[in-house]
Amino acid sequence: MLRIVKAGSGLDTIDLEACERRGITVSRTGGSETSVAELTLALMLACLREISRLDQSVRARNFAAKTGAIGGTLDGRTVGIVGFGAIGAKVAKLLAGFGAHILVFDRSIHQTDKRTILTALGATPNFDLDTLLKKAQVLTLHVPLTPATRGLIDERRLSLLPSNAILVNTARAALVDRLALEEALVQKRLTAAGLDVHFEEDGVTNSRLLDLPNVISTPHVGAQTYEAQEAVAGRIVSLIADTRNRLELA
């Protein structure tokens, strides 16, 4: 029995069709849900309060930057969550504590476990993505990258967002059309974006996103907390032990 164990949740870096042809089992560990969800909220707050810009101003001893620095709160804000798996659900639970109005789009939102969580949080399910986008003052993405979701948030869908909207992406960069996102930020049709994932993560990129003042970026560190790494390592060991036991019983 052959098995590939992916640390985390995204399987877009693995050729699943080739694994299926060769009889290779592919498993994901999960374990980083809380860490990714907390970074998602951190990026939301950083965008709403312009923390990066204001930090730079204070370091330059420019306390006059306080003038006109009027941010926003998550309390009372409408946040659209696209994808309600383990990470999306955790984001919703954290947002509920901030008093946000939560909208959720998920292709399997009819599942009992997901509807139970939505009901407990007072979140509103949306069966049409465009309807959610028209209301979302903050949009956060938590779906896997597949052929169906690549470029999911394109120019047309970005144009549906309210004019003061913020986009946060801690999932995969290619869920969003890069040129459309750049243009929306340059034209200030989007107020800001908080990005933990990027189109090129090898240090060589010509993307304008990294030069825009209304973009706050982190280098794909959503899962990089001590707690998440410990949980992931434990699950890897458990999956390896499970594979060994199956082989011994075969």
Catalytic residue positions, numbered: 172, 201, 220
Please return the burial class of 248, using the count of CB atoms within 10 Å of its CB with bins 0-12, 13-18 and 19+.
Answer: exposed
Element (H, E) at 124: strand 124-126
Secondary structure class of 192 (helix, strand, coil): strand
Kind of pairing, strands 2-6 and 101-105?
Answer: unpaired
Cβ proximity of 110 and 52 under 8 Å: no
Residue 146 per-residue DSSP state: -
Rg (CA), the chain: 20
